[in-house]
A and B are shown apart, each in its own frame.
Chain A
Amino acid sequence: MLRYLSASLLLLAALHGQAQNVEFTKDEFKGDKESLKNAQKELKEANSWYETDPPRYEQALPHFLAAQQVNPNNAQLNFRIGHCYLNSTYKSKALPYLQKAYQLDPQVDARIRYMLGRGLHLNARWEEAIAEYKAAQPAPGAKNATAQQNDIRKKIQECESGLALMKTPTRAFIDNVGPAINTPYPEYGPVITADESVMLFTSRRDGGVGDEKDPFIGGYFEDIWQSVKGKDGQWQQAKNLGPTVNTKGHDAVVALSPDGQKLVTYVEDGAGDLYEADLKGAAWNKPGSLGRRINGGQSHESSAAYAPNGRMLYFVSNGSPESSRGGHDIWRLDVEGKGKAENLGSVINTPYDEDGIFVHPDGKTIYFSSQGHNSMGGYDIFKSEWKNGQWTKPENLGWPINTPDDDVFFVLSASGRHGYFASSRDDSQGSRDIYMITFLGPEKPPVLSSEEPLLASRAAPVRQTLLAPAVPIATAQVTILKGTVTDADSKQPIEATIELVDNALNQSIASFKSNSQSGRYLVSLPSGVNYGIVVRKEGYLFHSENFDLPAGAAYSEVVKDIPLKKLDVGAKVVLNNIFFDFDKATLRKESTAELERLVQLMTTEYPALRIEISGHTDNVGKAEYNKDLSLRRAKAVVDYLTAHGVAAARLTSAGYGDTQPVAPNTTKEGRQLNRRTEFKVVAK
């Protein structure tokens, strides 16, 4: 460390010997009065922005830079340019100006060593930054000495974290998502559907609803924009979400439900509140406040995320100081319950600010940004999993995803393969852009071969392979089920209710709706549950699907279009969530939810309905045996229904064995489809 310190000082001392501070005076610019005049004019303009309260650094910066073109060797000017950059989008550009200021006049400002530390820190020059921070310790008894010491201690910790994290970079490609989304104006806050088919983001470009600039902070007002991924896998040209969602003021998106049917916006209402809008057909309705259980009158709510079941909303707020861990914290609320929001606790929330919460569609992993934990500077993105009833210690996503500057508002696809975030990088279209991270997973070590004549008496060498070590499988443990719900006859899309049921617990997990215009739906199914999926619409027979996803089942995406049949005589429905013991007619308990649905259909919804329950098998085994088994199984279902209040006269049972296959018996999948329980409407 001393080595760096002395090297840094020597360099500065050497530079100091070569350059001299040049004031903006007539003596210094005898031959170029016009330039001096122009520079002084720029300085006057710049200083008016710089010295206002609060300072307007970004407005001051271009004028300071113009003056610096005339006189690059003024210590105070270089210091102010550095200071402006430190408070801009381009923080890392501050360093050369601060170094120059120090070189010209080491006493240019009392904060110069601290600023140099910041400049080095933001350029990931960790050890040099630590040296400067140490040199910036306040004098004993100085005003705010303790606060300054604490700040410096924190910054040094951040540098140490950065140093450690940079030694083991996260393997990832980071790519600009391209001109269909990014413009020379700032783009940020991307949110996606679980299958990455739709992206919403915030942009301060021209062409928005108000198409006006913010007179206070400059730049166009924020609007929410949307891009859809084309069949070629490329993002299509973004479109403004329109005046229902976007106003003439600032409108920013903070969350999108995994199925893309709900969004949360940030609105400067009071201290800053969260609003929610629903997608109705192809149009979003007007966002409305998420209400007082989330938005406090005096508090600032800045971020939110839906849990995949849609019932739990995670959000960021600086409210409830009595239960807050300090600054902005992450909270969660059961939106269907009546209780208060719950702070995620000290494992997640720190005395510093947290922001940018995102819940992965696997339902157990959260991503968030924090200035605490082992951040390498500003906000870093962290990951934590819900395991054994508690959150795991947040894990820094590492370099180069995290940087010394703010890294915030990160979302991840259901597959876990792609993350999206905003950043200012060398290849940006200008200002902040949206980037996609492709996670490459753990290191994949190459494998060497060797050959050694292990037996001295044998001429031929023995080939040895240095085995590749086992690698963890890190794919997301979630299945995305998506498709379109239509009327089986007319093929028209239907807005239907899609209910997820935990068959083992006979409990409803979540309920969604397919889009009224497109009929599209998307549900996230975290592994470890035997799911019953029931699609309902009044006037139609319900449709049931079964997805038994054992714990640890890797990511997959399943497309399942669902044609709902009208409740007409002769209509048939397969009861996919009725299960029997192997080779028996004993109903397993996982069938209860489906059987209860059938009871409800017969007793409450259609009390005059008469149905036939039929059993079917594949063609394995003897036909007579199969017929008998299928009949006994159908009777078991009928027995259940009659025992639960359905009149026996309304029910018939039939065993068709393997005589009515719905798929070829030549494949395992086909045989599975053929083994089924059906019901058919006989009269209504």
Chain B
Amino acid sequence: MKQYLFLFGCALTGFAAQAQTDTVRASTLPPAQLAEKYYNSGVAKFNDKSYNAAIQDFDKALATKPDFAKAYYNRAATRYELKQYAPAVQDYNEAIRLDPSTFTAWYGRAQAKQAQNLPAEAEQDYSKVTELKPDYAAAWYDRGALRFEKGDYQAALQDFTQATKVDPKYAYAWHDRASAERQLGQTEAAVRDYTEALRLNPDLHVALLNRAAAKRRLKDYKGAAEDYSDYLRRRTDDPVGYLGRAGARYEAGEYQAAVDDLTQALKLRPDYALALNNRAAAYQQLKNYKAAEADATAAINLNAQYAEAYLNRGHAREMLRNTGGACADWRKAAELGITAGTAYAANSGCE
């Protein structure tokens, strides 16, 4: 029998995706266990998704028995469901104070802090979970994701690797390990791990997108286009898939095919600035400079800070003999972080 309530898990990871509930058996109740009764009622209401009613029961349980750690924990979990993250953290704090050896409270608080956009504090709590329960794969995975998001890909890779060791069937962990490898330039390994993630979970469509991108880096444009096409067969309405396949086709020198894909992406999402920018690049290669300028301008109209679009519009304007406009665009791109813009301006007689 489990000694704790685990009301929720990581819905996105698919690991412990539903609430696991337990009750304190009535046969073992001492005569006046009022707190436990409220507690059990709260658990039942939680399972019925009657969260506010559940909270009232947990409140009563705690009023009766202020050191009832499990009640704090369950109320925290219920508040999390109601997106009341700050009170949830307070309850987790109490649960941890009363019983610091229970890893679920640490894990729950980590998730609540993550929801509060406190990644550093969440990372600390995940770390505590990995100490208390090293075979708990979700903690490794979630900490890895946080580390990935802050750009520490090497540490993320170690965490995802640990998650796959603890649970070799953990498709998400294989997937994200591949992404970390990709960011570290280990592209061939990334392709292998994305493939493993797809083997474990053929419905993990996103792995097709990412494997395709990795193949592009390996200059396997044909393989990349196949993956994108496979993805688009499953998700015909996703402009991101068309954007990706257009990239593969562009890199293969198939500029008109890239334009066609990007036009399709824009049919699905007319305000897709990235597709406009990339179509500008493809038009540039097709020497259709007016269309390139128009698309880059449309991308800039959607996002005035879009450095790449300024750079590309500069290229188009250069070929349209609008040197002043090109110089202004390259300089703007440089100002927004693409330093090559400065060199382009210097090379082109910009005053």
A interface residues (Cβ-Cβ under 8 A, vs B): 173, 415, 417, 440-442, 444, 446-458, 461, 463-475, 554
Can you name the residue of chain B whose Cβ is closest to the Cβ of A418? Answer: B349
- Contact pick for A469, options B12, B250, B340, CB 8 Å: B340
CB neighbours (8 Å) of B311 from chain A are 446-447, 468
Q: Is the CB of B281 within 8 A of A446?
A: yes
Decide if B243 is an interface residue (CB 8 Å cutoff). yes
CB neighbours (8 Å) of B321 from chain A are 173
- Contact pick for B284, options A446, A455, A473, CB 8 Å: A446
- Contact pick for B145, options A173, A455, A463, A466, CB 8 Å: A455
Can you name the residue of chain B whose Cβ is closest to the Cβ of A447? Answer: B308
Known: A440-B348, A450-B244. 11 other contacts (CB 8 A): A417-B349, A448-B278, A449-B277, A450-B274, A452-B244, A456-B197, A457-B145, A458-B12, A471-B340, A473-B347, A554-B346
Min distance, Cβ A254 to any Cβ of chain B, angstroms: 27
B235-280 interface (Cβ within 8 A of A): 240, 243-244, 247, 250, 274, 277-278, 280
B273-331 interface (Cβ within 8 A of A): 274, 277-278, 280-281, 284-285, 292, 308, 311-312, 314-315, 318, 321
A-B contact pairs, 17 of them (CB 8 A): A441-B348, A444-B344, A446-B280, A448-B250, A450-B274, A450-B278, A451-B240, A451-B243, A452-B210, A454-B179, A454-B182, A454-B183, A456-B175, A456-B206, A457-B142, A469-B340, A471-B343
B interface residues (Cβ-Cβ under 8 A, vs A): 10, 12-13, 141-142, 145, 148-149, 171-172, 175-176, 179, 182-183, 197, 204, 206-207, 209-210, 213, 240, 243-244, 247, 250, 274, 277-278, 280-281, 284-285, 292, 308, 311-312, 314-315, 318, 321, 338, 340, 343-344, 346-349
Q: Is the CB of A473 within 8 A of B308?
A: no
Q: Is the CB of B318 within 8 A of A457?
A: no
- In whole angstroms, what is the CA distance A466 to B250 when docked? 13
Min distance, Cβ B244 to any Cβ of chain A, angstroms: 6
CB neighbours (8 Å) of B250 from chain A are 448
Q: Is the CB of A454 within 8 A of B148?
A: yes
Min distance, Cβ A608 to any Cβ of chain B, angstroms: 49
Can you name the residue of chain A whose Cβ is closest to the Cβ of B344? Answer: A444
Can you name the residue of chain A whose Cβ is closest to the Cβ of B146? Answer: A455
Can you name the residue of chain A whose Cβ is closest to the Cβ of B142? Answer: A457
Can you name the residue of chain A whose Cβ is closest to the Cβ of B292? Answer: A446
Can you name the residue of chain A whose Cβ is closest to the Cβ of B144? Answer: A455
Min distance, Cβ B176 to any Cβ of chain A, angstroms: 5
Can you name the residue of chain A whose Cβ is closest to the Cβ of B309? Answer: A449
Can you name the residue of chain A whose Cβ is closest to the Cβ of B182? Answer: A454
CB neighbours (8 Å) of A461 from chain B are 240
Min distance, Cβ B107 to any Cβ of chain A, angstroms: 15
Q: Is the CB of A447 within 8 A of B312?
A: yes
Q: Is the CB of B207 within 8 A of A456?
A: yes
Min distance, Cβ B246 to any Cβ of chain A, angstroms: 9
CB neighbours (8 Å) of B182 from chain A are 454
CB neighbours (8 Å) of A447 from chain B are 281, 308, 311-312, 338
- In whole angstroms, what is the CA distance A457 to B137 when docked? 14
Can you name the residue of chain A whose Cβ is closest to the Cβ of B281? Answer: A446
Q: Given the interface contacts A450-B274, A457-B12, does A442 sit within 8 Å of B349 by beta carbon?
A: no
- In whole angstroms, what is the CA distance A464 to B285 when docked? 21
- Contact pick for B347, options A442, A449, A455, A456, CB 8 Å: A442
CB neighbours (8 Å) of B274 from chain A are 449-451, 463
Min distance, Cβ A442 to any Cβ of chain B, angstroms: 7
Q: Is the CB of A444 within 8 A of B281?
A: no
CB neighbours (8 Å) of A442 from chain B are 347
CB neighbours (8 Å) of B171 from chain A are 456
- In whole angstroms, what is the CA distance A417 to B346 when docked? 11
- In whole angstroms, what is the CA distance A364 to B244 when docked? 48
Top 10 closest pairs, chain A to chain B, by CB? A446-B281, A441-B347, A454-B179, A417-B349, A468-B340, A456-B175, A457-B12, A449-B274, A447-B308, A456-B172
- In whole angstroms, what is the CA distance A469 to B340 when docked? 7
- In whole angstroms, what is the CA distance A475 to B347 when docked? 6
- In whole angstroms, what is the CA distance A554 to B340 when docked? 16
Q: Is the CB of B343 within 8 A of A473?
A: yes
Min distance, Cβ B78 to any Cβ of chain A, angstroms: 23
CB neighbours (8 Å) of B284 from chain A are 446
- Most A Cβ at <10 Å: residue of B149, B213, B284, B340: B340
Can you name the residue of chain B whose Cβ is closest to the Cβ of A556? Answer: B351
CB neighbours (8 Å) of A458 from chain B are 12, 145, 149
Q: Is the CB of A450 within 8 A of B346?
A: no
Q: Is the CB of B348 within 8 A of A457?
A: no
- Most B Cβ at <10 Å: residue of A447, A454, A456, A457: A456
Can you name the residue of chain A whose Cβ is closest to the Cβ of B273? Answer: A449
- In whole angstroms, what is the CA distance A473 to B10 when docked? 52
Q: Given the interface contacts A444-B315, A444-B318, A456-B176, does A450 sit within 8 Å of B213 by beta carbon?
A: yes
Can you name the residue of chain A whose Cβ is closest to the Cβ of B340? Answer: A468
Q: Is the CB of A474 within 8 A of B338?
A: no
- In whole angstroms, what is the CA distance A173 to B204 when docked? 51
- In whole angstroms, what is the CA distance A453 to B210 when docked? 7
Q: Given the interface contacts A173-B321, A451-B274, A468-B340, does A446 sit within 8 Å of B315 by beta carbon?
A: yes
CB neighbours (8 Å) of B206 from chain A are 453, 456
Q: Is the CB of A475 within 8 A of B346?
A: yes
Min distance, Cβ B225 to any Cβ of chain A, angstroms: 14
CB neighbours (8 Å) of A468 from chain B are 311, 338, 340
- Contact pick for A455, options B179, B204, B243, B315, CB 8 Å: B179
CB neighbours (8 Å) of A440 from chain B are 318, 348
Q: Is the CB of B344 within 8 A of A471?
A: yes
CB neighbours (8 Å) of A469 from chain B are 340
CB neighbours (8 Å) of A475 from chain B are 346-347
Q: Given the interface contacts A446-B280, A450-B244, A463-B274, does A473 sit within 8 Å of B145 by beta carbon?
A: no
- In whole angstroms, what is the CA distance A444 to B329 when docked? 13
- In whole angstroms, what is the CA distance A678 to B277 when docked? 58
- In whole angstroms, what is the CA distance A447 to B321 when docked? 20
- Most B Cβ at <10 Å: residue of A454, A465, A467: A454
Q: Is the CB of B204 within 8 A of A452?
A: no
- In whole angstroms, what is the CA distance A448 to B149 when docked? 22
CB neighbours (8 Å) of A464 from chain B are 213
Min distance, Cβ A467 to any Cβ of chain B, angstroms: 8
Q: Is the CB of B308 within 8 A of A455?
A: no
- In whole angstroms, what is the CA distance A465 to B336 when docked? 13
- In whole angstroms, what is the CA distance A475 to B345 when docked? 10
- In whole angstroms, what is the CA distance A11 to B149 when docked? 65
CB neighbours (8 Å) of A554 from chain B are 346
Q: Given the interface contacts A452-B210, A454-B179, A455-B148, does A446 sit within 8 Å of B347 by beta carbon?
A: no
CB neighbours (8 Å) of A449 from chain B are 274, 277-278, 308
- In whole angstroms, what is the CA distance A450 to B348 when docked? 28
- In whole angstroms, what is the CA distance A449 to B303 when docked? 13
Q: Is the CB of B281 within 8 A of A452?
A: no
- In whole angstroms, what is the CA distance A642 to B72 when docked? 94
- In whole angstroms, what is the CA distance A333 to B292 when docked? 52
- Contact pick for B349, options A415, A452, A471, CB 8 Å: A415
CB neighbours (8 Å) of A470 from chain B are 340, 343
CB neighbours (8 Å) of B338 from chain A are 447, 467-468
CB neighbours (8 Å) of B340 from chain A are 468-471
CB neighbours (8 Å) of B175 from chain A are 456
CB neighbours (8 Å) of B145 from chain A are 455, 457-458
CB neighbours (8 Å) of A417 from chain B are 348-349
Can you name the residue of chain A whose Cβ is closest to the Cβ of B276? Answer: A449
Min distance, Cβ B177 to any Cβ of chain A, angstroms: 10
Min distance, Cβ A445 to any Cβ of chain B, angstroms: 8
Can you name the residue of chain B whose Cβ is closest to the Cβ of A463? Answer: B274
CB neighbours (8 Å) of A450 from chain B are 213, 243-244, 247, 274, 278
- In whole angstroms, what is the CA distance A464 to B183 when docked? 11
CB neighbours (8 Å) of A467 from chain B are 338
- In whole angstroms, what is the CA distance A447 to B274 when docked? 11
CB neighbours (8 Å) of B278 from chain A are 448-450
Q: Is the CB of A457 within 8 A of B13?
A: yes
Min distance, Cβ A107 to any Cβ of chain B, angstroms: 45
